[in-house]
Structure 1
Amino acid sequence: MSDPAAPVSGKDDVSIATSAYEESKPSLDVAHLENGAHAHHHTLEEIKELDEAALVLEEAGNVQYSIAEDRRVLRKIDLWVLTPMLLVYFLQQMDKSSVSYASVFNLQAETGLVGNQYAWLTSIVYVAQLVFQPLSSFALVKLPVGKWVLFNVFCWGVCVACMGAAKNFAGLITARFFLGVFEATVAPSFIAITQMWWRRREQTYRTISWNASNGFASIFGPLVAFGVGHVNNRNILPYQGIFIFLGCLTVACCPIVAFMLPDNPTTARFLKNGNDRVIAIERLRSGNMGTENKTWKWSQFWETMRDVKTWLWALLLFLVACPSGGISAFGGLIVQGFGFDSFTTILFQMPFGAITVLSIAVTSWVTNKIKLRFPVIAFMALFPIAGAVAIRQLPRNNQAGLLTAYYMVSFLGCLQPLLYSWSNLNASGHTKKVTTTAILFIAQCVGNIVGPQVYLAQEKPFYYTGIAVDLGCWCALIFVILGTAAYLHYLNKKQEKRRIAAGRPGHVVDTSIMTLEEVEKHRQHQIATGQVEINTNDHAFEDLTDFQNMDFMYVL
């Protein structure tokens, strides 16, 4: 770390530091705590209110570091935190999709599934997630998140492997139920991890990255199914081999997760050298979102329940998850209905995953470039609308056209990660963030439960009702996105009025969604124009909600 007293120069040696300001409302002065000369002991009640990071910064004293040091620490975080997240999400998607791969290899016939029993093998996973989501959210506040994720990964791997022993609907649905129980924590845990490790601008790329693992799983999973399906074994049927292989693969990867994934920035082993831990925490200040607090705050919980945007996010997630759940479960059967055999159908699923990965990568870059989320998400919803219309209208002998339409539907894969990324940026306070994520995940579960049920067995292979419901969801999605953006703009105007009423400038530039170079350019512009630089992030680690903290800015 650079010497606080030493002058700095050069593009990568620009010093990043903080300064304090006074505010009329009473609060715990975290800016004061970070001044080593005035450190003091706290009462138990003060410690409970503070984010855990605030106590680390108090011990560290004055915080000052260069852009080069910031980037070095960021590379460490990406290696040690993002890598196991990518692995876990990749495994989760393959394990969850295993029943879809198995369906192409006569799962229904071999296990005697009738009517909508196959659809329930997908829906039951989300029923379990829905039921156990409150417990998972509470565990995220009370338990070390890294160890909690590891426990659940091991357990669901065992569940998937055990599905290989199931030979009827009762055995399959029991195993799938427990798969859902243990997978319930993954997305909420990863959202919490993303918020505690990366700046708001960085969060977009990281959230998109671990969501993109779904696409890679959609590429690799069919290859596994293709290979296992060719294994000739009189004792193990192809569908059983798929479950056994994928479950054992997940269990085998658990030691990697145990070694790499930390619980939080204040205890991570890879930050033990020099001032890495302090830099990792301080760099989050501009987002005003804090890191972690182990106290469950009912006031934040009830604020979340009264917050209009909580329910807008929930509606958006439902409208995306309902079509996604149906396509995930029945995508293979839809393609098989175009007139292809089992092995060809499995291979034709791979471009679906590749398009998902590509669309996620491009849209995440665009959203950060234009610093807006809503127009990109609304635009991307047009592709699955066009694809679904074409699938309904094209004749069955036009295989090339039908496949093209199916691949246009695959652009739906970028909608959910973009929505999660957008919602992540617009809530603060640890309990509020966890509760918001839980509600979003519940809405997603409901959508994933409903989605497969509208694909009626008697309509195979056309699934007219399922495609029609998906079309309605995507059309409604566009209108709700525009309404959400308008509401966030209204909230930003309210924040401006609060700052003006407190005697401060109303308009504030949100540096948390800027690159480091853009932040420094902004700072130099303020100096050159003689503007008084007022730090707007002194309450970042007080575990305040976005409603409580007038410095919080909503991202459109």
Structure 2
Amino acid sequence: MWLCYGIQQTDKTALGTQATFGLREDTGLYGTQYSWLTTIFYLIYMIFEFPSNIILQRYKMGKILSCYMICWGVVVLCIGFAQNFTHLVVLRALQGLFECCISPGFILVVGSWYKTREHASRSLVFQSANAGFGIISSLALYGIGKRGAQNPDSEPWRWMSYFLGAMTICIGILCLFLLGTPSEVKWLTPEEKRMANARIVSNNTGHDRTGVRKWQWKQVRECLIDPCFWFAGINAFLSSLPNGGLTTFAHIINTSFGFTNLEVILLDIPRSAFSVLYFVAIGLITSKRSGLRLYFMIVSTIPPFVGFLGMAFIPNNPSMKWTKWGMYFMTVPYVISLFLAWSLIPSNTAGRTKRTFTSSFTFVGYCVGNMTGSQIFKAKDAPFYVPGVVGCAVCFGLEFAVLVCWRIVLVLRNRRLDKTIALDGLSEEERTLRAKKMGEEDKTDFENPYFRYTL
């Protein structure tokens, strides 16, 4: 999962690096065409999000995810042969189609293997590849870029696509034999599969085959009246809008500080290394102590809020380039509020259909945010893009408020549960058995009176 997620993030965001190595000039991009390469990716990602999640629910997750990965690897490789905007926009659309199921699929895989208290740490392990694999890819892309600088006619951005596409295809083939839920994988014995499923019964959400072929519309209706369903989608939108801007324009903005395109690649390495350490630290803490996920999410919106404002308003002159890069460095924690929110879906959502629908809606918010983020950076504002950077800061201010409200709702629900169980006259063992039985019956968190929400 770490490799798959890292490669997906690298393939998705490599466009920003390629843009500083001649992609825009060699393919004749002008105006907002470059922005639309990101927008079309997330538009198609969003359109096929829901159908792909239904496919994941009905068929073997591991095989579906692996096949999608091989397909997008082929697409990334083909980007290296693109000659114009039409070629690029079609290929980016196909890339969005095949990448749309990876993140929600991994959330479901985590929920099928691990206990509730382990969801955050295990999710952060594979999500740390967002930065961890970025270190590896940065070194590889730096080597390709430096070689290209010695031979300007070599069009290094094309070789970046060839390298990334070939690597993705190879890892996708490997995943065909390794990736999946406990019931799917071939490397567990029947007894080990039963043990793996029994291990997560205490989650009160069933096991990986619970409700697998039955789509329940009443669970969809329940989502629509659940405030946490909307908090998850809104949070994903607000966190992803800056992400859409950064993945598309971060390298261009950093070169505007006064760095060369090769220096920008190298400067991504310490930022990625800090991000990995931050992920690991939060993963370890949340696995040892409960009730901290939303606190970390709330706190993680503050540094990027300050960082984006600093990037926008610190004077643009060469003597301030390291100060501005320091402000950019402060944006590192922003992904925690999104990734920890993803880990709350398997922890706080019971009912197979409800969990799948919540996951899909969250990723719709993720897609719309990324699409919007790529469009608020206007060509007329180049190379500093001050209005877009300020817009990113505003998003983190709003996200702070949403996360505070989200935690309040969950705290109130748990307090109501405490009052209910204090009056039911049952022993703790009886409550636990009833809660597990309801999880096995594909009951939702609303239908299970003994379901406790993770904070």
TM-score in same-fold range (> 0.5):
yes
Between stretches 285-294 and 240-249, larger displacement belongs to 285-294
Query: Within 1, Cα distance between the matches of 2:226 and 2:251?
Result: 39
The residue aligned with 2:299 is 379
Q: What does 1:327-338 correspond to in 2, within 5 Å?
A: 327-338=246-257
The residue correspondences of 1:32-431 to structure 2 (distance < 5 A) are: 85-231=1-147, 236-262=154-180, 264-272=181-189, 275-291=191-207, 292=209, 293-372=212-291, 373-395=293-315, 396=317, 397-431=319-353
- Give 3-state SS (helix, strand or coil) of 1:173's partner: helix
User: Could you tell me how far apart the structure 2 residues matched to 1:235 and 1:399 are?
Assistant: 30
Correspondent of 1:488 among 393, 406, 410: 410
Counting only pairs closer than 5 Å after superposition, residues 440-519 of structure 1 correspond to structure 2 as: 440-500=362-422, 502-504=424-426
Change (3 A) 1:129 1:533: closer
Q: Secondary structure of the equivalent of 2:259?
A: coil
In the alignment, is the contact (CA less than 8 A) between 1:320 and 1:415 conserved in 2?
Answer: yes
Query: What is the alpha-carbon distance in structure 2 between the residues aligned to residue 494 and residue 242 of structure 1?
Result: 55
Contact between 1:102 and 1:225, CA under 8 Å: does it hold in 2? no
* CA distance in 1: counterparts of 2:375 and 2:444, whole angstroms: 38
Query: 3-state DSSP class of the match of 2:24?
Result: helix
Change (3 A) 1:209 1:386: same
Distance 1:498 1:225 in 2: 58
1:550 corresponds to which residue? 449
Q: Give the superposed CA RMSD.
A: 1.9
Alignment partners' CA distance in 2, 1:333 and 1:188: 30
Paired residue total? 446
The alignment's TM-score, normalised by the length of structure 2, stands at 0.93
Letter in 1 for 2:389: I
Distance in 2 (alpha carbons) for counterparts of 1:388 and 1:533:
48
Which amino acid counterpart does residue 52 of structure 2 have in structure 1? S
Q: Deviations over 1:508-533 (max 9, x none)?
A: 7xxxxxxxxxxxxxxxxxxxxxx999
Aligned-residue offset at 1:249 = 1.0
Q: Which amino acid aligns with 2:267?
A: F
- Contact 2:301 2:337 (8 Å CA) reproduced: yes
Distance 1:241 1:504, change over 3 A: same
Matched AA of 1:460: A
User: C-alpha displacement at 1:455, in angstroms?
Assistant: 1.0
User: Are the equivalent residues in 2 in contact too, given 1:387–1:406 (CA < 8 A)?
Assistant: yes
Which position in structure 2 is the counterpart of 1:29?
A: none
Return the letter of the residue paired with 1:239: W
Residue 123 (structure 1) shift: 1.6
Pairwise CA distance, 1:473: 0.6
Q: How far, CA to CA, are the matches of 2:219 and 2:122 in structure 1?
A: 26
What 5-or-longer segments of structure 2 have no aligned partner?
none
d(CA) in 2 for partners of 1:495, 1:193: 28
CA offset at residue 302 of structure 1? Answer: 1.8
| Shift of residue 217, structure 1, vs aligned partner | 2.9
User: CA distance change for structure 1 residues 548 and 532 in 2, over 3 Å: closer, same or farther?
Assistant: closer
Residue-by-residue CA offset, 1:181-227 (whole Å, 9 max, x unaligned): 00000011111111111101111111111111111232222222211
C-alpha distance 430-356 of structure 1, shift in aligned 2 (>3 A): same
Q: What code does the residue aligned with 1:467 have?
A: V
Pair 246,534 (structure 1): closer, same or farther in 2 beyond 3 Å: closer
Counterpart residue identity of residue 173, structure 2: P
What are the superposed Cα offsets for residues 27-79 of structure 1, whole Å, 9 maximum, x if unpaired?
xxxxxxxxxxxxxxxxxxxxxxxxxxxxxxxxxxxxxxxxxxxxxxxxxxxxx
Change (3 A) 1:534 1:362: closer
Contact (CA 8 Å) 1:105, 1:342: kept in 2 or not?
yes
Deviation (angstroms), 1:306: 2.2
Pairwise CA distance, 1:236:
4.7
Aligned CA distance change for structure 1 residues 258 and 468 (closer, same or farther; 3 Å)? same
Distance 1:145 1:103, change over 3 A: same
- Give the Å deviation of 1:297: 1.6
Q: 1:342 to 1:235 in 2, by over 3 A?
A: closer
Q: For 1:390 and 1:194, how far apart are their aligned partners in 2?
A: 37
CA distance, structure 2, for counterparts of residue 458 and residue 534 of structure 1: 60
Larger radius of gyration: 1
For the residue of structure 2 that corresponds to 1:455, the secondary structure is coil
Cα distance in 2, alignment partners of residues 216 and 118 from structure 1: 27
* 2:80 counterpart SS class: helix
Distance 1:240 1:498, change over 3 A: same
Q: Which amino acid aligns with 2:188?
A: L
Judge conservation of contact 2:121–2:286 (CA < 8 Å) in 1: no
Q: Deviations over 1:142-165 (max 9, x none)?
A: 111111101100110000011111
Cα deviation for residue 355 of structure 1 reads 2.1
The answer to whether structure 1 residue 538 and structure 2 residue 455 are counterparts is no
What is the rounded CA distance, in whole Å, between the counterparts of 2:35 and 2:281 in structure 1? 33
Alignment partners' CA distance in 2, 1:119 and 1:534:
52
* CA drift at 1:235: 7.3
Question: What is the rounded CA distance, in whole Å, between the counterparts of 2:59 and 2:153 in structure 1?
Answer: 42
Contact 2:146 2:262 in 1 (8 A): no
The residue identity in structure 1 corresponding to 2:321 is Q
Tell me by how many angstroms 1:90 deviates: 1.1
Q: TM-score, normalised by structure 1?
A: 0.77
The question of whether the paired residues in 1 share the 8 Å contact of 2:345 and 2:355 is answered with no
Conserved in 2, the CA contact under 8 Å of 1:367 and 1:376? no
Residue 534 to residue 390, structure 1, CA distance change in 2 (3 Å): closer
Return the offset for 1:497: 4.3
**Equivalent residues of 1:355, 1:411 under 8 A apart:** no
Q: How many angstroms apart in 2 are the aligned matches of 1:532 and 1:89? A: 40
Higher helix fraction (1 or 2): 2
